[in-house]
Amino acid sequence: MGINIEMEEKNPKNKFQGDFDHDQVEVSLDRFIEVLNELNELKLQIQKNEFEKQSNKIKRGMSVAKIIDAWRIFPRAFISVYLFLLYQSSMWFMSLENPTTDQFGLVSVIVGAGAAWFGLYVRSKGDGKKDT
């Protein structure tokens, strides 16, 4: 296919001339340059949209991280697991008829660790909270 560009403007600026039976079209040079510029602008817009889609995925991931941090999901999960462990170990220790020093030491460590865990949980703060 060839393109035949006439330097002289025989037709109005925005009109194309030619027939569809042949592989040549006559168009003014100014209109051809305008079409090329529009094509380049569309390509740039497509690239910009694709970049924004990628950055939206990153922003979405960051918002999920902020929600997890604001709701303090992991500290609450750890405290919940600790409470379950404390309850089970307390029930186990109280069911013993004649506990040994080692068994008493195990339960003491679990209770002491719980005090430390709870203290850290209460003193910690999320990102959005102000220190009072």
- 72-97 pLDDT per residue, tens: 888 889 889 999 999 999 999 999 99
- Residue 33 near residue 7 (C-beta atoms within 8 A): no
User: How does 17-32 read in b/e, with b if 16+ C-beta sit within 10 Å?
Assistant: eeeeeeeebebbeebe
- Residue 75 near residue 124 (C-beta atoms within 8 A): yes
pLDDT per position as a tens digit, 20-55: 677 776 778 888 888 888 988 988 888 888 777 777
Sequence spans of domains, the chain: 1-71, 72-125
- List the one residue out of 5, 8, 11 whose CA is nearest residue 36: 5
Please give the Cα distance from 74 to 120 (Å, whole number).
13
pTM exceeds cut of 0.75: no
